[in-house]
Structure 1
């Protein structure tokens, strides 16, 4: 009798362990072949390959931030063990739905709300942004850089400020003009704004939108560009200087593994250059060797904690001191950043 019972318990255990963990991903734009959502899609593909039949993944693309997101996340919570919501604007619906589905693990990208079954994660992209600013200023002849972006949230403003500070480390008088699309994925508006910035003298374009359109426009107009989210070199063979890319694979793998191991707990993850979750990709071979050396030195200094990007003195766009000499902004201050460094011009917006 004991032998039979042991046999059946073993079979039940094998059956339970064979059930794949169901993991869902919500994207704010098409997964496509470049940009923010594509960076998460690459990570999803990575964990599928890594875990094989131990997990079952599914995605929902182009989900607007708002009521539709709430409906989509609710549906996914009803049919999955774990849900990754990958846009800032999903924060409130994710938090509310997490309370309604306590047995589901939720992971929200770039957010600030956490709970018993809700974690947050992001990458310190501003570190690599700083490095890209060094490259942009080094290749600019006009001393004017253009920046096309979506929404004035802390993540965006922090990246813009870091980019500008990096540029100013090469040319203290350089100017960065920012313009807004009011949407993460807006190729048509991104195109018009990029043309406008170039018309006003910008000879290097950076962006924080979920499309490679600014790179394409720069290629057509004969100016340089900085890619973002994923490697965008293919969209501007001549214009592309470098891309700031995100690598979410290790974060996703570790969080999924923790669920499998029954060790998952709510956390706030914010790795960066040191962990390679954000880094530079496809540096243009046109860059002079001395600039490459500056980038390598700055990269190592950031990784080793010897270079703090937001160390004072730093003035805002009204020339008022925001970070005193000897001070360094804390993570809390970085997460709430709602001001622009001196040298940024254009349509300055606040949240």
Structure 2
């Protein structure tokens, strides 16, 4: 009498419509403020019990965040029934993120000796093979909308892991993690129903504010990590270029609010990046740890929109390891 697919789609649509005026991720973050306050005061002493310290906190937190994003993408798979179109590039986008995340994980564990089949006994071989089969099965079942879906995700994971294991150097923690976070945010914007984020074309003001904030902070982190201050632009030329970049950035923000388009979101991020690059190049020096402070904010924002309190908590813990400075006073020159 009833089509199961239609019932599921109607239920999901009703959930998204109910979340438009008050997104679920916003309310869980609001109600979790007492927990985050506890993390702020006691999180540092807690993670130090596991061997985390000032020397390795950056790499430890970045690796943990990437692992959680990887697991989140895999476990969120199989929700293709809510998509409006059967033809979508979302599987390829997820595979690309899985590939990069696997490279990051593999490069961080390239010195780890994995169990080998040659020197193992029969029981050990059976255990090793069973673990790998189970792991690849979970990854494959995350994309079962077509026969090639599991092969795509398993291939992306295997290729990324092998490349990461063969790499001589580890991926840079802040840049690599920021790239993975931004790519995941783009995927969420592409199909918000798939990730239970909202309804495509009907995102609320809170949805848009968080997305714009993530784009802004990501652009700032990448610019601060890769551009060095040189102070070689004339002041008159800098003022004109800066106002032009501000105007184009504001225009992109306005267009994104009106259209909620992924290409415009990417263009907005690029324009924000160009604006920040102009500010950095024109400066004589940059305050230390500014990029790390903004990275901690990025983790908190991303943890909120993905309803992963662990990532938000890690951002708070990372913040406590950094010097206590006025971030707004240090970063407002970027704007």
Question: TM-score of the superposition, structure 1-length normalised?
Answer: 0.23
Higher RCO structure, 1 or 2 (CA under 8 Å, sep 6+): 2
Answer 1 or 2: which has greater strand percent: 1
Structure with the larger helix share: 2
- Give the TM-score of the pair, scaled to structure 2: 0.24
